[in-house]
Structure 1
Amino acid sequence: MTMAVALQRITDIEAQLQQLTTGIQATDAATSGTSAATSASFANALDAALGATGQSGAVTGNDIVEGAKKYLGVPYVFGGEDANGMDCSGLVQRVLADLGIDAPRVVQDQADIGVEVPSLDQAQPGDLLVVKGEGHIVIYAGDGKIIHAPRPGKNVQLVDNYLKPSDISTIRRVVPSASAASASASVAGTAGVDGSLLSTLGLGGAGTTAGASPSQLLALMRSGFSQAVGS
């Protein structure tokens, strides 16, 4: 699925959300139940949008980490992208391809996929950390660890994350985190559409989007894809 198709889906979903919002305003007595339905719909919409890079909705960040671990020990080979040898971006592309996710080949393009994570503190397993200058990319493995193909003479390795926030150009999330996938299943217990959206993204925090409307959140969601489609 292309990014353009994903954006069209978002447009379609926006219309559906408008209908739901109208229903909420018209029936105060049903506000709580309808709001939960709106949240669930938006969570499902976000999962569909994250599918723009081709991944199954069942794929999580933990799957990316486990997939990367299969290549531990593979030698660094510049331009390589298989078990015979791979460079940093080749590792990322190979791991994502194994999970059915289409990804560009080079770091500069991989730096635009998925949605951006605001800070290293909010990174989840499976997120991609792009080094400033876009000359290197690593897979965040959780617990302060990363998996990467470092340089000639080294192998793909799992090591402590040596990157400081100031070293990182962008952090990209291409699939929902495991906790976010779980949260979307119990979205009826959330306060509203904004909490559902951030839970699905795995970027939530108290008060992060207090008072945000569905249209505002959709605009935020669109902006996460705008670079990838060149808009």
Structure 2
Amino acid sequence: MGESLRKRTRQEIGWARELADRLSSLPQPPDLSRERAQLEGLEHRLSALGPDSAGAKPSKNNEAVPDWIWYPEGQPAKDAPAEVRFFRCTFEAEDVTRVRVAELRIAADDACEISLNGIQVGVHGTWQTAAVFQVGRLLKSGKNVLAVRAENRPAPAKNPAGLIVQLTFVLADGTRNVIVSDGSWRAHKAEQTGWRRPEFDDGGWPAAKVAAPFGGGPWRRIRGLAG
């Protein structure tokens, strides 16, 4: 299955799950247990194929839209353990001397710490608004790695968890390159020595789970991100 088809399939699974959640909130909800099981089975088969790509490829247009992602466990858009999860995205930058501006937008439900190429970028403590960081000085020609520590904090009831990221770097000729959170990211439950560094081998980490497309799930369209 091609990468674009897999990404589209993950998005449609997210939309179908969101519709099922809305139907379940009706006064007389239909029994959707069979449909939910089918969605889980399809998502499991997609995950078995591995990440959508060995590394994220910059999109040279304005159409790249981030997904809400989380560690592949249960239905994180509905409820997830109040724990910390770890995420990595490897991507290529051809020639950073041509980068005019590089802007990282990020939010997590509930909080996150961000590093780029092993150097801390910043922290952010809400999912309702995306934080914005200028990261041009941290980009390198060739391989780059975004690493995020995301925490889902305790809640009195259902406790969804998610991470959403959009990195845009613009070249001197106006070309826009966009990296977004999607099923190509890697995720892990436990912190490992050196996991933020570019040379760390995350080959044993599973693919992140797409919890919902941007604008979906319990988060809807948060401030500071456009999709």
Q: Tell me if TM exceeds 0.5.
A: no
Q: Which has the larger radius of gyration?
A: 1
- In the superposition, the TM-score normalised over structure 1's length comes to 0.29
The answer to which structure, 1 or 2, has the higher relative contact order (CA under 8 A, 6+ apart) is 2
Greater fraction strand: 2
- In the superposition, the TM-score normalised over structure 2's length comes to 0.29
